[in-house]
Amino acid sequence: MIVLPPSFPFGGMENPMLAFMTPTLIAGDKSLVSTVAHELAHSWTGNLVSNATWRDLWLNEGFTTYFTNRIVEAVYGKEQAELEWVIEYGRLVEEMQSMPLAEQTLPANVQDRDPNLAFNRFTYDKASMFVHELESRLGRAAFDIFLRQYVEHFAFSAITTESFVKYAQQTLLVEHGDKLSENELNEWIYGQGLPDWFVAPTSTSFDKVDAALEAFIGGAPAHTLAVTQWRVHHWQYFLSKLPLVVSQSMLLDLDEAFQLTGHQNAEIACDWYRVAIRNHFDLILPALSIYLCKIGRGKFVRPLFTELQVAGYKQELVTIYNQARPGYHPSLQVKLDALLRVEIGLIG
Ligand SMILES: [Zn+2]
């Protein structure tokens, strides 16, 4: 593995024998290492069995995202794996709210568009929910046999969505037809959004966060919240579940109690800045500017500029973007130029 400069636009990249990593994974407490598992899992789903076109990217990313969770479970236990699965589901639901329904399918609709658009929550997280459901329908032992046979069957080849469907029809639906129907398979792969029978993942590990949230919203000072056992995913859950509108005094209380502004964990910092921007908590702006000028990982940068845009921080957005843009990877520059074209004066 090689850790690249902070401008590296992705979490990781699965080059055979030399995975590239963003330095934002280095949190000081090994809390973000699941991306390492993800890039290694691509050795099988991605580099051994590859997607034939970008439309079929979900075959790489869905299975790999599922394997990531299995590796986390094997190394860190079921509780941590469930936490990460629930966070993954939350990201998917968030993207479902803003993405047109026609885009919410496993095969990406990019035949005549920029293939970068295939890298979305549906090719990763919806596809991984599909694989998780296959596991729960078949039972883990039977599903693991299917997985091994699938990878062996297609090893060293590039396959399309339809190659997978055909293979599933000849194997899964024959051997396990009592557990999964052809209609259900088609609904998962070609249907929009999540199937209506889908049961969202849950984790009792978030109960303590729910209790803290309720206390905080009910007026308890931040320093009285029981957070000592929390790991990064608990913090992410806490920040994502705060009400849309939070008062300035509550934000100041949270920041003073937990030093969220300038937090060394890039995930927590990003989620905190999103809450702060939405609520015009301007105290964060200098630290936000440093963060956006230092880090060029699209996963963090894009949502933060979107929040600035939605919250109407036009002047600040232009200043930060002009300063940060030269340090971003060209692929991210193109996306942000398109997203921010009004603010940065390309049109209107
Ligand atoms: Zn991947």
Ligand 1 center to residue 290 CA distance, Å? 28
- Rounded to 5 degrees, φ, ψ at 209 are -75, -40
Instruction: Give percent of the chain above pLDDT 70.
Output: 99
Instruction: Give percent of the chain above pLDDT 90.
Output: 92
Catalytic residues: 39, 124
pLDDT mean across residues, the chain: 95
Ligand 1 center to residue 192 CA distance, Å? 22
> For the domain 33-190, what is the CATH superfamily, name and number?
Neutral Protease Domain 2 (1.10.390.10)
Q: Where are the domains of the chain?
A: 33-190, 204-339
Q: Which CATH architecture has domain 204-339?
A: Alpha Horseshoe (1.25)
Ligand 1 center to residue 88 CA distance, Å? 14
Query: Distances from the Cα of 345 to the Cαs of 78, 262, 292, 318, in angstroms?
Result: 49, 30, 20, 9
Name residue, tokens 């549906």: 122
Ligand 1 center to residue 252 CA distance, Å? 37
Of 118-122, 232-236, 316-320, 343-347, where does mean pLDDT reach its minimum?
343-347
Would you state the pLDDT for residue 348?
43
Q: Would you tell me the crossing angle of helices 182-190 and 161-170 to the nearest 10 degrees?
A: 170
- pLDDT bin (cut points 50, 70, 90) of residue 19 is very high
The DSSP call for residue 198 is P
- Strands 2-3 and 157-159 turn out to be unpaired
Query: For the chain, how far is it from start to end, CA to CA, in angstroms?
Result: 45
93: left (phi over 0), alpha (psi -120 to 50) or beta: alpha
Q: Would you tell me the crossing angle of helices 232-241 and 78-98 to the nearest 10 degrees?
A: 30
Dihedral sign for Cα atoms in the order 97, 102, 107, 108: negative
Q: Which two tokens stand for residue 255?
A: 């920041």
Q: Which two tokens stand for residue 17?
A: 């024998």
Distance of CA 138 to the CA centre of its chain: 26
pTM for this model (two decimals): 0.90
Over the stretch 212-232, which tens digit does the pLDDT of each residue have?
999 999 999 999 999 998 999
Would you state the pLDDT for residue 116?
85
H/E stretch holding 104 reads none
pLDDT at 46 over 80: yes
Mean pLDDT (whole number) for 120-145:
97
Ligand 1 center to residue 41 CA distance, Å? 8
Ligand 1 center to residue 64 CA distance, Å? 6
H/E stretch holding 28 reads none
Would you state the pLDDT for residue 45?
97
How long is the chain? 348
Would you state the pLDDT for residue 347?
52
Rounded CA-CA distance 336/229 in Å is: 37
- Strands 20-21 and 12-13 turn out to be antiparallel
- pLDDT bin (cut points 50, 70, 90) of residue 346 is low
Distance of CA 145 to the CA centre of its chain: 28
Q: Which two tokens stand for residue 208?
A: 């303590």
Mean pLDDT (whole number) for 8-19:
94
Would you state the pLDDT for residue 114?
87
Would you state the pLDDT for residue 241?
94
CB atoms within 10 A of CB 164: 22
Ligand 1 center to residue 108 CA distance, Å? 15
Rounded to 5°, angle at Cα 27 from 334 and 18 = 65
Ligand 1 center to residue 115 CA distance, Å? 15
CB atoms within 10 A of CB 328: 22
Rounded CA-CA distance 334/324 in Å is: 13
